[in-house]
Amino acid sequence: MKLSKLTLLSAATAGVLTLSSAAPASAQLKPEAPRVKTVNMTGDPKAGEKVYLQTCWSCHGLAGDGKGPAAGGMKPPPTDFTSAEALKQRSEGEILDAIVKGKPGTAMYPQPLDPQSIVDVAAYLRTLARTPLQEKTLIEALSRGDKEAGRLLYSSRCWPCHGPTGRGNGPAAPALKPPPADFSDPDRVIARTGARLYRVLTAGVPGTAMAPQDLTEKEKFDLIAYLRSLVQYSEIKNVPGDETPEGDARSGKEIYEKRCWSCHGSRGEADGPAAVAMIPPPTRFADYEKMKDRPSAEWLSAIQSGLAGTAMYPQRLTDREAWDLVAYLRTLGRRKSEVP
């Protein structure tokens, strides 16, 4: 059954959407009218969540943050519904329209759903947006997570699949497809935001052995703190001795704009899109007063070897590239007097 934009738009205003497969003409309204299906236009977010977890999450992400497994390299990327701005400016009709008709020229294809499911999933999308206050509450709850309590829970309930050290190699793992997540993989750190881990523990990963976990709120945050400590970085590379080669800030800038801005921010303000809810937050290179005394050798080591227990993973760059980056990072500092 096809829904025209007009039907949906006028229905949104009327409050109730009446659909008939037998195309009733208003003239022949008799008591025994053809079978009519009524769609509740308020939408049921709970039912919508089910639809979302079947149809939408692979692109828009389990947490609604646009970071689903199918999203890598997608242009434009899937909408991040957790951003308070994402749907704020959109009317109900526009949202329904995007789902029914898709967004031509993007990966958002028309979603083959029945009308009630469309209205329900749209209602669910609205629940994903986090206000700055909720964001703050989440960050606070994440910072209270107790790693040791998380470790105890993990070693009683998670290791048979995820492995004793989180490498995804527990005794039950060989039988599982897809395999259990490997929490030691530094390349997955960006995707594993606090919001996403929280959502997985609450809702599981549909279609996999990762079932929703019966946990209290506190237990979830304790586990998240522990999971985050399982990332393993490669061995420390040699840091060159006394001589500090002059890096080339121009080529450093090129690398920075590809690999570093998502956390450290395009101007070194630590406000990149991946930095939200990151604990500890990325270093703010724009803070000249704080950064001017940081030794270049320590920065080089942070870039090459990462900083254990943080999202700063080893960057797999040559020494030359790392020095170029250090030179560029120095140009990001702005004295307080320069800040408008």
318 phi and psi angles, rounded to 5 deg: -75, 160
- CB neighbours of 135 closer than 8 A, spacing ≥ 6? 276, 277
Binding of residue 277 to ligand HEC (CB under 6 A) = no
**Whole-number minimum distance, CB 171 to ligand HEC, in Å?**
10
Q: Which is nearer to ligand HEC, 24 or 317 (CB)?
A: 317
Q: Which stretch binds ligand HEC (CB under 6 A): 20-28, 74-82, 230-238, 241-249?
A: 74-82
- Please tell me whether residue 306 adopts helix, strand or coil conformation: coil
**Whole-number minimum distance, CB 159 to ligand HEC, in Å?**
8
Binding of residue 55 to ligand HEC (CB under 6 A) = yes
Q: Which is nearer to ligand HEC, 28 or 273 (CB)?
A: 273
Measured between alpha carbons, how far apart are the two ends of the chain, in Å?
Answer: 56
Binding of residue 197 to ligand HEC (CB under 6 A) = yes
> Of 137, 150, 141, 214, whose CA–CA distance to 183 is shortest?
150
- CB neighbours of 333 closer than 8 A, spacing ≥ 6? 268, 285, 286, 287, 288, 291, 292
The H helix count followed by the E strand count for the chain is: 15, 2
What is the Cβ-side half-sphere exposure of residue 127, based on CA atoms within 13 angstroms? 14
- Please tell me whether residue 78 adopts helix, strand or coil conformation: coil
16 phi and psi angles, rounded to 5 deg: -130, 135
Contact letters (x/-) for ligand HEC, 294-323, by CB under 6 A? x---xx--xx---x--xxx--x--------
Q: Which is nearer to ligand HEC, 33 or 267 (CB)?
A: 267
Both tokens assigned to 144: 């209270």
Which residues, listed in sequence order, are joined to residue 36 by a DSSP beta bridge? 20
Binding of residue 165 to ligand HEC (CB under 6 A) = no
**Whole-number minimum distance, CB 264 to ligand HEC, in Å?**
6
DSSP-based helix, strand, coil % in the chain, nearest 5: 45, 5, 50
Binding of residue 229 to ligand HEC (CB under 6 A) = no
> Could you give the CA distance from residue 338 to residue 340 in angstroms, rounded to a whole number?
6
Task: List the one residue from 41, 108, 119, 327 that touches ligand HEC (CB under 6 A).
Answer: 108
Task: List the one residue from 8, 41, 142, 325 that touches ligand HEC (CB under 6 A).
Answer: 325
**Whole-number minimum distance, CB 25 to ligand HEC, in Å?**
32
Q: Which stretch binds ligand HEC (CB under 6 A): 5-13, 99-107, 128-136, 233-241?
A: 99-107
Q: Long-range contacts made by residues 262-266, C-beta under 8 angstroms, separation at least 24?
A: 262/190, 263/190, 263/311, 263/312
Contact positions toward ligand HEC, by CB under 6 A? 55-56, 58-60, 70, 74, 76, 78-79, 90, 95, 98-99, 103, 106-108, 111, 113, 121, 157-158, 160-162, 172, 176, 178, 180-181, 188-190, 192, 197, 200-201, 205, 208-210, 213, 223, 227, 255, 259-260, 262-264, 274, 278, 280, 282-283, 294, 298-299, 302-303, 307, 310-312, 315, 325
